[in-house]
Amino acid sequence: MPCSSIPTPISTPPNRDRVHAICMYCQAARVNKTTWLPLQEGEKPLPRVSHGVCPSCYDQAVKQLVLEIRGLSA
């Protein structure tokens, strides 16, 4: 019996029919688990998005949080 549910490989640019995660900080679009692409200049945001945080912004945000927490407890 053929299996029709095998996911097709995700290629770039992002498939606009899918729901995409967009970095809430830099607006990069998640292409797959490890790849985030910045939106091109003037490119419209993808129609169906959920917000996330890309790895580089995540690092920045965590560092900022740590600094703030240290500041609060000092």
- Which residues, at least 6 apart from 14, have a Cβ–Cβ distance to it below 8 Å? 20, 29, 30, 31, 37, 46
Helix or strand run (H / E) with residue 20: strand 20-23
- Asked if residue 24 binds Zn ion (CB under 5 A), the reply is no
Report the DSSP pairing between strands 36-37 and 29-30: antiparallel
Q: Which stretch binds Zn ion (CB under 5 A): 5-13, 38-46, 52-60, 66-74?
A: 52-60
Q: Rule CB under 5 A: choose which of 22, 29, 46, 54 binds Zn ion.
A: 54
- Asked if residue 29 binds Zn ion (CB under 5 A), the reply is no
Q: Rule CB under 5 A: choose which of 31, 39, 57, 60 binds Zn ion.
A: 57
**Which residues make up the interface to Zn ion (CB under 5 A)?**
23, 25-26, 28, 54, 57
